[in-house]
Structures are given as structure tokens and as C-alpha cells.
């Protein structure tokens, strides 16, 4: 059926048209706050590497984090050893005034003191204390009472508060918060105790990802609603089941304003939440961020090389293959929307993340005439759509004879010349 509608020339998100829904449904509302990205690559990411970085390598990653414009950096675990202490101390002195610098420690006074000694020269130092809160861990690992748990939290946070004074900050993490569904009311009491003892930030980690994101996000929402208004809530999610990005993004909409993420998704086991995926997902949802998104692609390459952990070709955003289109149906949609802000099969603009290439069409046995037309004309080989249509059977046959794989430009030009020779 014919239509008088004209092709779209400038895509704009349709979120404003949902204004009434936003006002009545908090699930869809865009938070007024800007997400605070606390990067954990140099601590959680580094400790999981087969070969942890030395000081020089850590400084390279640190400088790249500054280029990304993250708001906070956890520079290490100062009490883990002399090298960690040295790195925390060195990097904290390189930090600009705008960046929060954190060191992790257990709820042990000696470790807390080492953290403070290592980072106290930073303009914005933060002591980060972690202690279990889930019923399972309290009963099977700590083997103490809930009352003793609260006492240990208050004692350690109070000590950190005394060291940090009015210049530094204290963050408390309830380890295994994701497992605390059975004792969520106690866990909230524990967080209140931490706030009463002087904690500035409460971090809710999905230390081991076991369940669906909705369950964790519902727990986040309950904590946000239960703690005093204005409490600063953070999330730190792991990717054991492959859902850390979804969990972190939805946690922001549930009230967690600090997002702990890692470059290239590095971290224990299956890794931490990937910084790039969270950032672009929030960007696509209309959330304003202070990150320099254009530094993402460069950063991913640097981190992959230095960590020895290659980027899978299908990795979202930064994988080699995520801009490639080989199916005929997809190629037709790409061709028809390539000059529009929103592409039929394009989740993001390549230049948004500093990626040098955008949509790439390749010819395989699954491809159609749109691929031929786009590939050859883009390479400066002029063909009409009619000629591309006539050329497709020959290219498809050649691809199938060679196992169905991609044909090179040279192979496609050979078949074009053969067709023209026959037709002439």
C-alpha cells in the first residue's frame, strides 16, 4: 500500500511523549540525579588478572580513567601488601581535585589505618569498608550473632570516620547483599548502624550473581525507601549469570546513584559490570552523564592489550563484529537507514564511543543485492542496483563453493568483471 509519509531525517528519542506515564510510574521516570561512576578496575579488576599490573601499568590505566572522566577510582586494597600500598599512595597523589580516591579494607582497624595512610594525600580520599550482611554468610562464614555483626560494623565505620575526619569520606559495603533476601530487615538495620557511625555511602553489592535482576533491583528499592532520605546508595554487581549490566542500569532507576563498574568488565570470575555497556544504555535512555564516552573504544583496546584478556568479537559495543551486517534482510535495512540518526539495526552511533568504523556490510552466502550495491559503491566501484541484482547469484554461488564465508572486495570485483565480460 502506498503512503505519503516521508523518510525520517532526524531521529529524536520519544521519551518526552511519555511524560504522563513518567509522572505516574516511577519505573519509567528518568532520575534527576547524574550517575556517579566509581571505577573498580584497579582493585577488583586487577586482583582477578592472571598477572596483576605493576605500578607503571596501573598508572597507565589510571590516566585512561581520568580521560574517561569517571568521578571516583578505587585504586586498590592498600593492606593487601607492599605493592598495593605503594600503588594506592602513588596514584592518590596524582588524582585531580574532582576525583574521589578509594582504598578497600576489611572491618579491621589495622587495615583501615593502612588504607587511610595510603590515600590521605588525595584531595578527596575515601575509606571503603566491606563486611558481610547476608544470613548465609553470617551463619556459615562469620559464625557470630547478628548483634555482633552490627557491633563490628559500627566499630569499624566509627574508626574510619575518626581517621577521615571532615575531609575524607567513608563507604560501607554489605558483602553478599544480593544473598540477603532472607534477612533483609536486619540488613537494613545494619546499614542504618553504618550511617549512624558516620558512613557517607552505603554500597549494595551483588557479590555473586545468582538470581534475576528484578529481584536484586526490588531489594535496592526497599533499601532506598527504608534508609533516611538523601542517603547515598551505591551498587556493585558481578556478572556470573551475564546480567550485571541490566542489574546496574535498573538499580540506577531504583535510586542507586553511585555505580561501581570496571573497564572491559574485568573482575572476579565472570567479571564486574562493564562500564561501557552501562554508560551507553543510560545514554540511550536519556540520562545525562559526565563521562567522556568518546574515550571508550580507545580505552577498551588499551585495557585488552594490557590485561591479556581479549575482547570477544561479539562483545557489545567494542567487539570487532558488532558493527557487521551479513544477513540480506539486515543489510537492506542498514542501507535504507544509513543516513538517519537511528538505524534499523544500529543500537548506537559508532562515533559516540570513539569507534572509527560504523555499520559494515559484508557479503556471504546469506547476503542480498543491497550488500553488493553498498560494498562496491563504497569502495568506488560503480554499479547500479540492477547490475547488483544480476551479480548476486554469481557471488552467492562463489561464497557457497568456498564454504559460505565472506568474500573479499577483490573476489567481488572479479565476479563483476566476469559478469560484464559475459554481458558485453
Q: What is the DSSP string of 163-188?
A: HHTTTSEEEEEEETGGGTTTTHHHHH
Whole-prediction pTM: 0.86
> Contact 76/108 with Cβ under 8 angstroms?
no
CA proximity to 291, closest of 316, 270, 263: 263
Cell numbers at residue 412, please? 567481488
Q: What is the DSSP string of 213-253?
A: HHHHHHHHHHHHHHSPTT-EEEEEEB-TTS-HHHHHHHHHH
The string over 341-376, giving b where at least 16 C-beta atoms fall within 10 Å of a residue's C-beta and e elsewhere, is eebbebebebebbebeeebbbbbbbbbbbbbbbbbb
pLDDT at residue 28, rounded to an integer:
61
Beta bridge partners of 206: 237
CA proximity to 68, closest of 303, 262, 295: 295
pLDDT at residue 329, rounded to an integer:
80
pLDDT at residue 293, rounded to an integer:
97
C-alpha–C-alpha distance, residues 317 and 397, integer Å: 33
Total Cβ atoms within 10 A of residue 182: 11
> Contact 63/99 with Cβ under 8 angstroms?
no
Q: How far is CA 213 from CA 116, 216, 225, 373, in A?
A: 34, 5, 18, 43
Reported as a single tens digit per residue, the pLDDT across 146-173 is 999 999 999 999 999 999 999 999 999 9
Total Cβ atoms within 10 A of residue 100: 23
pLDDT at residue 321, rounded to an integer:
87
pLDDT at residue 196, rounded to an integer:
98
pLDDT at residue 182, rounded to an integer:
92
Which residues have CB under 8 Å from 360's CB, separation 6+? 323, 324, 325
3-state helix, strand, coil in the chain (%, to 5): 50, 15, 35
pLDDT at residue 135, rounded to an integer:
94
CA proximity to 45, closest of 247, 308, 298: 308
Q: Which residue numbers in the chain have pLDDT < 50?
A: 1-24
pLDDT at residue 403, rounded to an integer:
78
pLDDT at residue 149, rounded to an integer:
97
**Domains, in order of start, for the chain:** 29-291 (3.20.20.70), 324-339+348-423 (no CATH)
pLDDT at residue 40, rounded to an integer:
98
pLDDT at residue 361, rounded to an integer:
78
Q: How far is CA 310 from CA 62, 299, 339, in A?
A: 20, 13, 32
Amino acid at each position: 500500500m502506498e503512503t505519503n509519509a516521508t523518510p525520517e531525517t532526524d531521529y529524536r528519542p520519544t521519551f518526552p511523549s511519555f511524560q504522563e506515564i513518567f509522572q505516574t510510574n516511577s519505573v519509567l521516570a528518568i532520575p534527576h540525579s547524574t550517575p556517579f561512576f566509581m571505577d573498580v578496575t584497579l582493585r577488583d579488576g586487577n586482583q582477578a588478572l592472571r598477572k596483576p599490573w605493576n605500578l607503571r601499568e596501573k598508572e597507565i590505566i589510571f590516566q585512561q580513567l581520568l580521560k574517561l572522566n569517571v568521578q571516583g577510582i578505587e585504586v586498590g586494597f592498600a593492606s593487601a601488601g607492599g605493592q598495593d600500598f605503594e600503588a594506592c599512595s602513588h596514584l592518590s597523589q596524582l588524582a585531580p581535585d574532582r576525583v574521589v580516591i578509594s582504598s578497600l579494607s576489611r572491618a579491621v582497624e589495622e587495615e583501615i589505618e593502612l588504607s587511610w595512610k595510603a590515600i590521605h594525600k588525595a584531595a578527596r580520599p575515601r575509606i571503603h569498608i566491606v563486611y558481610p550482611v547476608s544470613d548465609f554468610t553470617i551463619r556459615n562464614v562469620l559464625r557470630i550473632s547478628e548483634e555482633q555483626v552490627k557491633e563490628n560494623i559500627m566499630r569499624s565505620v566509627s574508626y574510619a570516620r575518626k581517621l577521615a575526619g571532615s575531609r575524607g569520606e567513608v563507604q560501607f559495603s554489605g558483602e553478599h547483599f544480593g544473598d540477603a533476601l532472607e534477612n533483609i530487615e536486619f540488613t537494613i538495620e545494619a546499614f542504618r548502624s553504618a550511617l549512624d557511625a558516620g558512613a557517607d555511602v552505603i554500597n549494595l553489592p551483588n557479590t555473586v550473581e545468582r538470581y534475576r535482576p528484578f529481584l536484586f533491583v526490588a531489594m535496592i528499592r526497599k533499601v532506598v525507601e527504608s534508609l533516611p532520605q538523601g542517603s547515598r546508595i551505591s551498587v556493585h554487581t558481578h556478572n556470573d549469570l551475564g546480567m550485571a549490566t541490566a542489574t546496574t542500569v535498573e538499580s540506577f532507576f531504583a535510586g542507586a546513584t553511585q555505580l561501581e563498574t570496571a573497564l572491559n568488565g574485568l573482575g572476579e570470575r565472570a567479571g564486574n559490570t562493564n562500564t561501557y555497556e552501562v554508560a551507553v544504555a543510560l545514554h540511550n535512555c536519556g540520562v545525562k552523564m559526565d563521562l567522556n564516552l568518546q574515550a571508550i573504544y580507545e580505552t577498551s583496546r588499551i585495557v585488552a592489550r594490557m590485561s591479556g584478556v581479549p575482547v570477544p568479537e561479539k562483545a557489545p559495543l567494542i567487539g570487532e563484529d558488532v558493527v557487521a551486517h551479513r544477513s540480506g534482510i539486515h543489510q537492506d535495512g542498514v542501507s535504507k537507514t544509513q543516513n538517519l540518526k537511528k538505524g534499523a539495526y544500529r543500537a548506537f552511533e559508532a562515533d559516540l564511543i570513539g569507534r572509527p568504523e560504523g555499520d559494515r556490510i559484508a557479503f556471504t552466502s546469506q547476503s542480498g543485492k543491497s550488500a553488493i550495491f553498498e560494498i562496491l559503491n563504497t569502495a568506488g566501484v560503480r554499479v547500479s542496483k540492477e547490475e547488483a541484482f544480476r551479480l548476486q547469484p554469481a557471488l552467492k554461488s562463489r561464497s557457497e563453493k568456498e564454504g559460505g564465508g565472506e568474500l573479499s572486495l577483490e573476489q567481488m570485483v572479479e565476479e563483476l568483471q566476469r559478469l560484464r565480460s559475459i554481458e558485453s
